[in-house]
């Protein structure tokens, strides 16, 4: 399925960007006539950084360069999990498709995959979590990110949830 | 990495996971309830591992495709509530479906780990009213119970109890585990698992009606005590706290003479100074490894009595807090105790589940043994190495990802990673500072303490060592020997 998605993505991303999804409000429009529709001209301004969410309680935040992103679990997920006792970090250079694991979070009562919201290649796992898994409970959407990846196609973020939609629909008891 | 792993994604991220299992626990030929212990679970973020039913029906009989939360008692219907449901909500419980009931997983005042440690250091109160309380009486009661269990119930004194197993005819497979108390010569009180309600009742119904056919309708009277609540007060402060509320005076009110495995009917003193309208059946037992009590509370004419008693026991929040299924699961595993539907099933006999000790010493003579499955079980007790292909043992797993239910055990020296067993319960032990502990079945020969094995966790090999159970020493109150 991901292979199919990949083959249609350049087109899809162009369509999506023209339809101005909700998140477009906080993003500059893609440069018209850019040779490859999938390449987004994200502004260098930190105001233009993009943070999106998944139904499965991951977040992804695109860096100002528009190419790398950090991935973690949401406040809601961290709270629901309870005391995190171990975080499995991804190996460097691991290539992942959207929806594939870039790590796992373990509490006493459960183990949960952390899936990459988009396709990409792992730059690094967050080494802080190796010794201090519980940091996830303290700063899940901040410094306790789990993986940093090089994003294959930033346009993949378009189809993810914005903060408001996620919180309204997925982060309620 | 994820290719081999069909993730259960109920609500996604936090569906806890297990490998799709090529292996299973060796079955004993049970045909009554074909099951596999290790079928993938379906758990979402709101229903994490600890919420798995302590007893549970396999997905074989589940109409909703492997969702094993709901017990067979209520696979798809509305969840039942215990008498303490409103109290749970008022106390900030996070409720989850469990064995057909809406049950507290944990409460807002303590995290899972905090609640676990609270139980080991102070005292916790658990609502276990979902469990099934039975009374069996009549001249045939003992004979019937000694057919369906391998226990020496005739050796029990009044108000003494024993852990036992209901056994399937022929195979000796474990239909359920149960604690049986002899109240009088001809009256027994026993408690079975909520998640096995349908199977247990069908089994008992058939056994009892066959017995009545042979011995007359008055030979046995069986009732399910639906109107009773059941709470467990567990922890080092349990006795001190409960003692302070025992009503009246006299030697019978002194809990220091109530030893593990014994029970007594006592009244408690309510805040207004009156005594409880009914005596409570107080058993010194539990499922945490700590000293403690299970308290059966009648409700006839006083439906609020369970809540009143619970509030009473919770009076001092520095001593007693509510605890839910999450802590119950981690506590019982540290204590090396089995969870039906996970660690034991009809696929095992008691010796096959390393529970051979439930078979009474005086019931092991093949010439006289007449309990269900005796012909299968006695040879296993006599020569386990020849008759049992797998053993239930404990493991301590190296630092890192915990090995959980469904993880495959492999021979550490075998490059091809041929499965030699399977984990049935596992988690990082809160009492042992997060040391990964696990229980499971491993091939005969690899079951000796100290044996090193490998366990595949998310396709990575974790080293593990066969370890004696319990991991946390039990503190049952046995008095001075």
CA distance B477 to B413: 43
Taking CA–CA distances from B96, the nearest residue in chain A reads: A173
Do B122 and B234 share a structural domain? yes
B435 part of contact set with chain A, CB < 8 Å:
no
* Exposed / middle / buried, residue B370 (Cβ in 10 Å: 0-12, 13-18, 19+): exposed
Do B322 and B418 share a structural domain? no
CATH of the domain at B407: 2.40.30.110
Q: Alpha carbon B327 to chain centroid distance?
A: 13
Instruction: Please give the order of strands across the beta sheet that includes B132-137.
Output: B160-167, B174-184, B187-192, B132-137, B221-224
Give domain status of residue B422, yes or no.
yes
Residues B92/B96/B99/B100 CA torsion (nearest 10 deg):
90
Do B320 and B401 share a structural domain? no
Residue B219 CB: number of other CB atoms within 10 A? Answer: 17
What are φ and ψ of residue B112, in 5° steps?
Answer: -55, -50
Total domains present in chain B: 2
CB contact under 8 A, A112 and B16: yes
B59 part of contact set with chain A, CB < 8 Å:
no
B438 part of contact set with chain A, CB < 8 Å:
no
Q: Alpha carbon B378 to chain centroid distance?
A: 24
pLDDT grade for A49, boundaries at 50, 70 and 90: low
CB contact under 8 A, A82 and B330: no
B228 part of contact set with chain A, CB < 8 Å:
no
Helix, strand or coil for residue B46?
A: coil
For residue A45, the 8-state DSSP code is S
Assigned CATH topology for domain A50-164: OB fold (Dihydrolipoamide Acetyltransferase, E2P) (2.40.50)
CB contact under 8 A, B112 and A107: yes
Taking CA–CA distances from A114, the nearest residue in chain B reads: B13
For residue B262, the 8-state DSSP code is B
Helix, strand or coil for residue B400?
A: coil
Spans of chain B, pLDDT less than 50: 1-24, 26-27, 29-74
Give domain status of residue B176, yes or no.
no
B294 among the known binding-site residues?
yes
Give domain status of residue B157, yes or no.
no
**Which of A107, A131, A136 to mutate against chain B (most B CBs within 10 Å)?**
A107
Range of the structural domain that residue B459 is part of: 389-470
Residues in B closer than 8 angstroms to A86, CB to CB, are 400-402, 428, 434
CB contact under 8 A, B14 and A57: yes
Alpha-carbon distances, residue B203 vs A153, B166, B208 (angstroms): 60, 9, 9
- The CA-to-CA distance between both ends of chain B, in Å, stands at 55
- Nearest-CB residue to A83 (from B45, B46, B112): B112
Comparing CA positions, the residue from B408, B352, B406 lying closest to residue B384 is B352
CB contact under 8 A, A101 and B2: yes
CA distance, residue B20 to nearest chain A CA (Å): 15
CB contact under 8 A, A112 and B13: yes
CB contact under 8 A, B49 and A83: no
- Listing DSSP states for B103-153 in one string gives EEEEETTS-HHHHHHHHHHSEEEEE-TTSEEEEEESTTHHHHHHHHS-S-G
Residue with tokens 């569906």: B15
Instruction: Please give the order of strands across the beta sheet that includes A101-107.
Output: A84-88, A101-107, A111-115
Q: Are A73 and A51 in contact (CB under 8 A)?
A: no
What are φ and ψ of residue B196, in 5° steps?
Answer: -110, 15
Residues in B closer than 8 angstroms to A107, CB to CB, are 48, 112
Do B250 and B115 share a structural domain? yes
Give domain status of residue B461, yes or no.
yes
pLDDT grade for A172, boundaries at 50, 70 and 90: confident
Residues B153/B158/B163/B165 CA torsion (nearest 10 deg):
40
**Which of B5, B8, B12 to mutate against chain A (most A CBs within 10 Å)?**
B12
Do B244 and B323 share a structural domain? yes
Residues in A closer than 8 angstroms to B47, CB to CB, are none
* Exposed / middle / buried, residue B12 (Cβ in 10 Å: 0-12, 13-18, 19+): buried
Residues 112-151 of A with CB under 8 A from B: 112-115
Do B251 and B328 share a structural domain? yes
Strand spans (E) along B138-226: 160-167, 174-184, 187-192, 221-224
* Mean of per-residue pLDDT scores for chain A: 78
CA distance, residue B324 to nearest chain A CA (Å): 12
CA distance, residue A53 to nearest chain B CA (Å): 12
CA distance, residue B416 to nearest chain A CA (Å): 23
Q: Which of B315, B332, B349 is the last residue of a domain?
A: B332
CA distance B70 to B56: 8
Alpha-carbon distances, residue B164 vs B152, B295, B327, B330, B349 (angstroms): 10, 19, 24, 22, 12
Helix orientation angle between B112-121 and B325-334, rounded to the nearest 10 degrees? 60
Do B323 and B248 share a structural domain? yes
Do B257 and B113 share a structural domain? yes
Q: Alpha carbon B119 to chain centroid distance?
A: 17
- Nearest-CB residue to A112 (from B1, B14, B50): B14
Give domain status of residue B297, yes or no.
yes
Q: Are B227 and B303 in contact (CB under 8 A)?
A: no
Q: In the predicted model, is pLDDT for residue A17 greater than 90?
A: no
CATH of the domain at B278: 3.30.1360.120
Do B328 and B393 share a structural domain? no
- Nearest-CB residue to B427 (from A77, A109, A114): A109
Per residue in A81-123, pLDDT (tens digit) is: 888 999 999 999 999 999 999 999 999 988 999 999 999 999 9
* Exposed / middle / buried, residue B154 (Cβ in 10 Å: 0-12, 13-18, 19+): middle
Residue with tokens 């067993």: B421
Taking CA–CA distances from A111, the nearest residue in chain B reads: B16
Which residues make beta-bridge pairs with B456? B408, B461
Do B282 and B423 share a structural domain? no
Q: Are A114 and A147 in contact (CB under 8 A)?
A: yes
Helix, strand or coil for residue B391?
A: strand
Residues 93-122 of B with CB under 8 A from A: 94, 106, 111-113, 116
What six digits make up the tokens of B118? 């609270």
Predicted TM-score (pTM) of this structure: 0.82
A49 part of contact set with chain B, CB < 8 Å:
no
Do B241 and B328 share a structural domain? yes
CB contact under 8 A, A112 and B45: yes
Residue with tokens 């008693």: B309
Do B236 and B121 share a structural domain? yes
Give domain status of residue B47, yes or no.
no
CB contact under 8 A, A108 and B45: no
pLDDT score for B481: 52
pLDDT score for B18: 34
For chain A, the domains span: 50-164
Residue B146 CB: number of other CB atoms within 10 A? Answer: 18
Residues in B closer than 8 angstroms to A115, CB to CB, are 12-13
Q: In the predicted model, is pLDDT for residue A10 greater than 60?
A: no
């Amino acid at each position: 399925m991901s292979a199919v998605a990949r083959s249609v993505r350049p087109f899809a991303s162009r369509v999506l960007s023209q339809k101005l999804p909700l998140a477009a409000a906080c993003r500059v429009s893609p440069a018209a006539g850019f040779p490859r529709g999938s390449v987004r001209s994200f502004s260098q301004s930190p105001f233009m950084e993009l943070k999106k969410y998944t139904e499965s309680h991951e977040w992804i935040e695109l860096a100002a360069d528009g190419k790398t992103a950090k991935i973690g679990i949401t406040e809601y997920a961290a709270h629901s999990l309870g005391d995190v006792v171990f975080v499995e970090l991804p190996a460097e250079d691991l290539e992942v498709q959207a929806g594939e694991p870039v790590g796992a979070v373990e509490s006493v009562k459960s183990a949960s995959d952390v899936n990459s919201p988009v396709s990409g290649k792992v730059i690094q796992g967050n080494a802080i979590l190796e010794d201090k898994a519980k940091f996830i409970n303290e700063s899940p959407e901040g410094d306790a990110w789990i993986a940093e990846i090089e994003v294959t196609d930033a346009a993949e973020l378009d189809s993810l949830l914005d903060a408001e939609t996620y919180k309204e629909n997925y982060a309620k008891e | 990495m994820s290719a081999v792993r069909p993730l259960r994604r109920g609500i996604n991220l936090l569906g806890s996971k297990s490998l799709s299992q090529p292996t299973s626990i060796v079955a004993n030929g049970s045909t009554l309830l074909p099951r596999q212990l290790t079928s993938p679970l379906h758990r979402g973020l709101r229903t994490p591992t600890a919420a798995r039913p302590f007893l549970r029906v396999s997905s074989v009989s589940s109409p909703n495709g492997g969702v094993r939360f709901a017990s067979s008692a209520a696979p798809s219907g509305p969840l039942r509530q215990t008498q303490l449901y409103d109290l749970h909500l008022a106390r900030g419980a996070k409720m989850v479906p469990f064995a057909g009931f809406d049950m507290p997983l944990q409460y807002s005042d303590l995290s899972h780990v905090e609640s676990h440690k609270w139980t080991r250091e102070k005292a916790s109160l658990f609502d276990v009213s979902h469990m099934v309380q039975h009374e069996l009486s009549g001249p045939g009661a003992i004979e019937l119970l000694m057919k369906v269990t391998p226990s020496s119930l005739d050796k029990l004194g009044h108000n003494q109890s024993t852990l036992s197993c209901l056994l399937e005819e022929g195979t000796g497979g474990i239909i359920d585990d149960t604690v049986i108390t002899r109240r009088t010569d001809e009256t027994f009180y026993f408690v079975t698992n909520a998640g096995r309600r349908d199977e247990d009742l069908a089994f008992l119904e058939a056994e009892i009606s066959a017995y009545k056919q042979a011995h007359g309708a008055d030979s046995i009277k069986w009732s399910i005590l639906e109107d009773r609540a059941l709470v467990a007060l567990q922890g080092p402060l349990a006795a001190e706290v409960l003692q302070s509320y025992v009503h009246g005076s006299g030697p019978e009110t002194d809990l220091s003479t109530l030893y593990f495995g014994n029970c007594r009917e006592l009244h408690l003193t309510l805040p207004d100074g009156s005594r409880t309208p009914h005596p409570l059946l107080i058993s010194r037992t539990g499922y945490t490894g700590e000293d403690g009590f299970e308290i059966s509370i009648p409700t006839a004419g006083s439906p609020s009595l369970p809540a009143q008693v619970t509030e009473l026991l919770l009076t001092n929040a520095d001593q007693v807090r509510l605890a839910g299924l999450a802590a119950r699961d981690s506590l019982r595993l540290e204590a090396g105790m089995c969870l039906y539907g996970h660690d034991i099933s009809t696929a095992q006999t008691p010796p096959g589940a390393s529970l051979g000790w439930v078979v009474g010493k005086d019931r092991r003579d093949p010439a006289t043994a007449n309990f269900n499955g005796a012909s299968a079980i006695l040879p296993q007790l006599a020569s386990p190495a020849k008759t049992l292909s797998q053993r239930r043992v404990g493991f301590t797993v190296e630092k890192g990802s915990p090995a959980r239910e469904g993880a495959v055990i492999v021979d550490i020296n075998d490059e091809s990673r041929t499965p030699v067993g399977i984990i049935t319960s596992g988690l990082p032990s809160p009492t042992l500072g997060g040391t990964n502990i696990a229980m499971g079945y491993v091939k005969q020969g690899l079951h000796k303490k100290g044996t090193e094995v490998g366990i595949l966790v998310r396709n990575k090999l974790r080293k593990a060592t066969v370890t004696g159970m319990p991991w946390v020493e039990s503190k049952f109150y046995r008095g001075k020997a």
